[in-house]
Structure 1
Amino acid sequence: MFKVLSSTILLVVILIFTPINKVFSQNDDTSTQTVIHLLGYIARDYAEGVQDGKIIDEQEYSEMKEFSAQAYRLTKEGDFLSEEDQNILDEMQELRTLIADKKSAKEINTSAVKLKNDIIKVTGVETAPKIWPDVKVGKSLFQQNCASCHGANGNGQGELAKGLEPAPTNFYDAELMGQVSPFQAYNTVKLGVQGTSMQAFSESFNEQELWALAFYVKSLRFEDKTADSLLLRKEFKEVFSYISLKDIATLSDDELLAAIAEKTDNPKVKLEAVRLLAPVGENATNSLSVAEKNLRAAVKNYSEGNKKLARNNALNAYLEGIEPVEARLRANDPSFVIELEQQMLQVRQVIEKGKGTDAVKVEAEKALVLITQADQLLQDQKLNYWLTFILALSIMLREGLEAFLILAVVLALIRSSGVKKALPWLHGGWIAAVLMGIAGWFLSDYIIQFGGKNREIMEGLVSLLAVLVLLFVGFWLHNNSTAKKWKEFVEGKIGRYLQKDKMFGLAIFSFMVVFREAFEVILFLQAIRLEAAPGDKSAIGLGVLVAVVCIALMAHLFLKYSKRIPVRQLFQYSSWVIILLAIILMGKGVHSIQESGWISVTGIGTSFRIGWLGFYPTLETVLAQAALIGVVFITYFMHNQGIKKVALK
């Protein structure tokens, strides 16, 4: 049994380390973004090839036909359109016909832009960064990777520009750059441009770097302006009160100029301000704005009849908006975090149950009120050096102790029973997980790109796999808790249980228990790193170090005194402790998968929850834990009945 279980666990661990966005993603994001990218090019560049029904540039026109055909093929072969959205494919074929008939640039632009917006709407693809990009990072990347072709100042006259056809983009060209949004620039850098020297940088840069570079190239043509910096900051503050980061990322300069002009005067200076400046202080990295925008989008989409998209909006509001600041909020007011999470859950519930637009609006408004309070808590809580240290310490202690609690029981058993050959396997498992966690810290930008949904799925599956192993260990301990059984085990079966395939399963279990917590630690610490001042980031390392020392001290004391406990009692108590841990992990695992949106969420009429015990006020988590308890008692009852029958014989 254990051999089969360990093989199953190994398979799932392999799946976990397969790029998770390919395993779990419902949509092929690369194909979707490529289609959006191609449609953007068609909308903007068609006029370069055709005017008044005549071809003025054969190469440009051929490119338009090729791009429209490629967009159609990717859409048809992809899985990002549901059956209800197949009309988009028909419209895309119609766009190909319009291009073949050399229709006006206005018709082509209208069709391509509509298709692009429809695809963005139905797929929910991200068209804006989650936090404001760092233009300084973008400038550094530009000088290292782009200046050789585009020129050090971005004028398109780099050392390698000669002979390139088409020529590298001149980012000071007001007419051209006025039609390009940062999102289009982001896609160009990420995906490249087929048939040109513009290569794809999707493997070279992470998401934050791609956005930083996109925002930087959009700022270049405004850098030589001489407007007073104080005036610019004033204008930026005003325009940012009604123009969101998503607007700034998805609208071209021409579109943004028109949007600003509808609201206020002096739009050109305000456009310059949003392309050159960024928010200061907490607002620069506060993800609560993501939660707010997604909640409003959820209400809008639900009222328009798009329940599926509304559900995704509500999920993203929590996973991408609340979770990144959860650690800071918990440090300030733990009870408030529970209230906020519960309300976000309530929003998802009314959407899933189809309670109606009014009910969704009411629950969303309650959540928005709490988000405003959360924002105020973050404004009041500046991340200085010692607060950063305390947050890092508390996170590492909490997650580290969860893993230690499980491993300590197994370690105590091994040491009490004298099965020393098992120690290297157990230690090897958790050490490998720690090393993977350290590597994960340096690769955390990639991990963050998994998205909140896939992170929750990974955590949930690892928890449920650990439940299986814990159940097996608990039953084994129970079966060997009597002196006679233990004697038989030591004298007759110890050799078989020390075979490598058995111990390999122990190593996998040890790895899983620690890896789950290490993965969560990385995500929380990354959130703190984004919010800490540059000079205070070393406090994160100090907090982690102190936590590790504390955990090591507790481990030493536990193992030292656990030797005094008789083997029989240790086995009896440990079997029930392990079953309790399995019940806790069952609740945590189901809860994580609920948060990913994989399974439904049904409230049980109370907000009471104990996260560290794995108890959450949802029907699904309670039923899963109740079922597990039932299986445990039925198995023990059947086992004891079998012992009694043997004794009677």
Structure 2
Amino acid sequence: MNRTRALPLLSLLLALPLTTASADEGTAGDERTWHRLVGILQYLQADYPNAVESKSESELAEQRSFIADAVEAAHELGPKAAGFLPRIEQVKAQVDQGHDPAGVSRACGELVEDLVLAGGLARSPRKPPDLTQGQHLFQVSCSACHGPEGRGDMPIAQTMDPKPANFHDAETMAGLMPYKAFNTISFGVPGTAMPGFPTLSEEQRWSLAFYLFTLRQPPCEGTPPSVSLERLATATDPDLVAEHGEKNLACLRRKFPDADEERSLLVARTHVEEALRKGTAGDMSGARTELLEAYLNGVEPVEIKLRARNPELVTKLERAFLQARLAAERGSPHLQDEGHELLTLLDQARRGSGTSADMWSVLWLTLLILLREGFEATIIVAALLAALRKMQAMQHVRVVHAGWTSALVVGALAFLFGRHLLAGANRELLEGITGLVAVAMLVYAALWLNARSNMSRFMGELRQKMQGALGSGSTLGLFTIAFTAVLRESFETAVFLQGLALDSASGVMWGSLAGVVVLLALVLFVNRVGYKLPMKTLFTASTVVLMATAVILLGKGIHSLQEVAALPIAPIPFINVELLGIFPDAISLVPQLLLALGPLAFVLRRRIRQAREAAATGQGQGGAGAPLV
């Protein structure tokens, strides 16, 4: 291996003294050791194959010393890293013999990803680096060896082995990323003139690490594509060129995106880290509060864009937050494991943040959201309209129309003015409460329809006494049913479309128009088909639709209240179908089950009563006719 490549900032060995972290160091000491272990393995992943190829005994000896330090660092972490020791020792056996460079590199890469997860490590800055500050720090702390332009050509450099890095060399920079530079700046490199800079703040070290990558780049011209800090910190220059083109490389690490989404996710990450610290200190109540703050103030404000881009990831995040909160409530030692999984998921979300969808993507997402959110509401409205038409109660149709249009108006106002009012806990609370009110009204509607479907005398008099049969109370009920059935979906749709409108307002507009057309066609279809059905069949089908929707909304409403800690959580092994309001939690599933079984029990009881009445009637008729035989 060329010794100029074993340079201080490219060599990733994090050189903290190998002493056991004291109790005073606590979590911070552990985190440094995790980073150190990751850095060693990253170095081996990149340089071990070159050392084997060089057949240089000195280079191979260097690699053996690195893996020995990795084993010692894993021992230093104690039980937390015990599960990784066999894998690290297996790598050590290969390195000691100088065998299998490809296998060692692959194993080190896999270990790095698993260690980052286990340690809950952050591999990027918490805010955009200050390159002016980085330039100042470079001139003060680095230029004496690396030169004012970072070429490593100072006279003193000739006396060093290895020589200081030349940050203008393409081969050198191809194997470097800001996260690796950050670790080396933090801890230095043993056996070289490269010292660590522990007195610099984390922000200063990130600013310096990012500045190094601008030294060889030409002036930035134009506006680069939006890329998350998480990706910029963990990608090499060749990675970024492959993803965004050579022309954008000069600007990507100079002009950082004004990414509200990533900042919000970093807020969530900070609260989760604080929750883990409080959990370690035994403050489980404080840990629970921090986790709730992380979700409401970090994830909820950007959930719309996250869900539009990666709904599966959002589902995992919500489930992980609930599991971590439950661990805190129970004082479980698994809080650390759950918290580290949360940190990994948040970083995964950050890697995809900052990207904007094009107009067509937003259009299709808007259409799908409207169909998904509006399907339940339109079915309910259509069923009510068909039932009223069948009953020849057309004067009450406008009451239903007034109900659902009023809900749409409220949703439109929410879209225009409610971005902040409907964020975080406010939105979840509103969705939960509205959902439960809608459940009550849907059950009322189902009972109302069911009662009329089983009152033949009512059916006979309906055409003559429509107004009296429905009454003013039923008129208000019809309005409330239509209003609440649409209100929750209207609110939720408004919040989703707000997020998408940030990417493409025109996409939201055209997608909304397309969605409205499809939903109106659905209403007309159900209304026409329903009118042609027999009265009893129509009312029975409508009752089933209303009750099924009530069961779905009950699950969604309870889940929303659980997310803001207004209701407790009780996870159980079960499927998760968010679209149907089914969540693996007893607090929501049990009421849903009872509500779903209620109509079945009612029908069974009615049939038993009818059978008994029929039997009693038959016996009475038989007794009266006996003497005539």
State the TM-score bracket (shorter-chain normalisation). 0.5 to 0.7
Q: Distance in 1 between matches of 2:560 and 2:136?
A: 43
Q: Distance in 2 between matches of 1:420 and 1:510?
A: 15
Corresponding residue to 2:346 among 341, 346, 371:
371
Task: Note the alpha carbon deviations across 1:426-481, whole angstroms, 9 max, x for none.
Answer: 11011111112222222124423xx4223212211211122222222222323332
- Counterpart of 1:516 in 2: which secondary structure? helix
Alignment partner, residue 514 of structure 1? 486
Alpha-carbon distance, 1:279 to partner: 7.8
Alignment partner, residue 566 of structure 2? 598
- Please tell me the residue identity of whatever aligns with 1:585: L
Q: Distance in 1 between matches of 2:419 and 2:254?
A: 21
Distance 1:307 1:230, change over 3 A: closer
Say yes or no: does 1:560 pair with 2:528. yes
Question: Is residue 437–residue 518 contact of structure 1 (8 Å, CA) maintained in 2?
Answer: yes
Alignment partner, residue 170 of structure 1? none
Distance 1:431 1:279, change over 3 A: farther
Distance 1:317 1:476, change over 3 A: same
Q: 1:474-493 maps to which residues of 2 (within 5 A)?
A: 474-482=446-454, 484-485=456-457, 487-488=459-460, 490=462
Question: Is residue 475–residue 575 contact of structure 1 (8 Å, CA) maintained in 2?
Answer: yes
Say yes or no: does 1:618 pair with 2:585. yes
Q: 1:425-574 maps to which residues of 2 (within 5 A)?
A: 425-448=399-422, 451-482=423-454, 484-485=456-457, 487-488=459-460, 490=462, 494-530=466-502, 532=503, 536-574=504-542
Alpha-carbon distance, 1:486 to partner: 5.1
Distance 1:332 1:311, change over 3 A: same
Distance 1:334 1:319, change over 3 A: same
Q: 1:58-77 maps to which residues of 2 (within 5 A)?
A: none
Corresponding residue to 1:576 among 536, 544, 553:
544
Q: 1:411-422 maps to which residues of 2 (within 5 A)?
A: 411-422=385-396
Task: Note the alpha carbon deviations across 1:568-604, whole angstroms, 9 max, x for none.
Answer: 1111222222221111111111111111211111111
Q: Size of the alignment, in residue pairs?
A: 388
Question: Is residue 583–residue 629 contact of structure 1 (8 Å, CA) maintained in 2?
Answer: yes
Task: Note the alpha carbon deviations across 1:176-215, whole angstroms, 9 max, x for none.
Answer: xxxxxxxxxxxxxxxxxxxxxxxxxxxxxxxxxxxxxxxx
Question: Is residue 311–residue 351 contact of structure 1 (8 Å, CA) maintained in 2?
Answer: yes
Alignment partner, residue 154 of structure 1? none
Q: Distance in 1 between matches of 2:350 and 2:201?
A: 29
Question: Is residue 453–residue 597 contact of structure 1 (8 Å, CA) maintained in 2?
Answer: no
Distance 1:264 1:325, change over 3 A: closer
Q: Distance in 2 between matches of 1:601 and 1:266?
A: 40
Alpha-carbon distance, 1:376 to partner: 2.2
- Please tell me the residue identity of whatever aligns with 2:571: G
Task: Note the alpha carbon deviations across 1:25-47, whole angstroms, 9 max, x for none.
Answer: xxxxxxxxxxxxxxxxxxxxxxx
Corresponding residue to 2:357 among 376, 383, 404:
383
Percentage of matched positions with identical amino acids: 28
Q: Distance in 1 between matches of 2:577 and 2:279?
A: 32
Q: Distance in 1 between matches of 2:202 and 2:321?
A: 34
Question: Is residue 378–residue 522 contact of structure 2 (8 Å, CA) maintained in 1?
Answer: no
Question: Is residue 416–residue 567 contact of structure 1 (8 Å, CA) maintained in 2?
Answer: yes
- Counterpart of 1:447 in 2: which secondary structure? coil
Distance 1:315 1:265, change over 3 A: closer
Question: Is residue 298–residue 310 contact of structure 1 (8 Å, CA) maintained in 2?
Answer: yes
Q: Between 544-553 and 617-626, report the one with greater CA deviation.
A: 544-553
- Counterpart of 1:499 in 2: which secondary structure? helix
- Counterpart of 1:421 in 2: which secondary structure? helix
TM normalised by structure 1 equals 0.54
TM normalised by structure 2 equals 0.55
- Please tell me the residue identity of whatever aligns with 2:385: L
- Please tell me the residue identity of whatever aligns with 1:283: A
Q: Distance in 1 between matches of 2:556 and 2:205?
A: 53
Question: Is residue 324–residue 524 contact of structure 1 (8 Å, CA) maintained in 2?
Answer: no
- Counterpart of 1:602 in 2: which secondary structure? coil
Q: 1:621-636 maps to which residues of 2 (within 5 A)?
A: 621-636=588-603
Question: Is residue 386–residue 531 contact of structure 2 (8 Å, CA) maintained in 1?
Answer: yes
Q: Between 588-597 and 386-395, report the one with greater CA deviation.
A: 386-395
Q: Which has the larger radius of gyration?
A: 2
Q: 1:268-307 maps to which residues of 2 (within 5 A)?
A: 280-281=256-257, 283-286=259-262, 287-307=264-284
Distance 1:308 1:493, change over 3 A: farther
Distance 1:585 1:234, change over 3 A: farther
| RMSD of Structure 2 on Structure 1 (CA) | 3.5
Question: Is residue 282–residue 378 contact of structure 1 (8 Å, CA) maintained in 2?
Answer: no
Distance 1:266 1:501, change over 3 A: closer
Task: Note the alpha carbon deviations across 1:262-285, whole angstroms, 9 max, x for none.
Answer: 864999xx9xxxxxx998337343
Q: 1:182-261 maps to which residues of 2 (within 5 A)?
A: 231=132
- Please tell me the residue identity of whatever aligns with 2:536: R
- Counterpart of 1:298 in 2: which secondary structure? helix
- Counterpart of 1:599 in 2: which secondary structure? coil
Alignment partner, residue 218 of structure 2? none
Say yes or no: does 1:309 pair with 2:283. no
Distance 1:365 1:485, change over 3 A: farther
Q: Distance in 2 between matches of 1:293 and 1:628?
A: 41
- Please tell me the residue identity of whatever aligns with 1:628: L
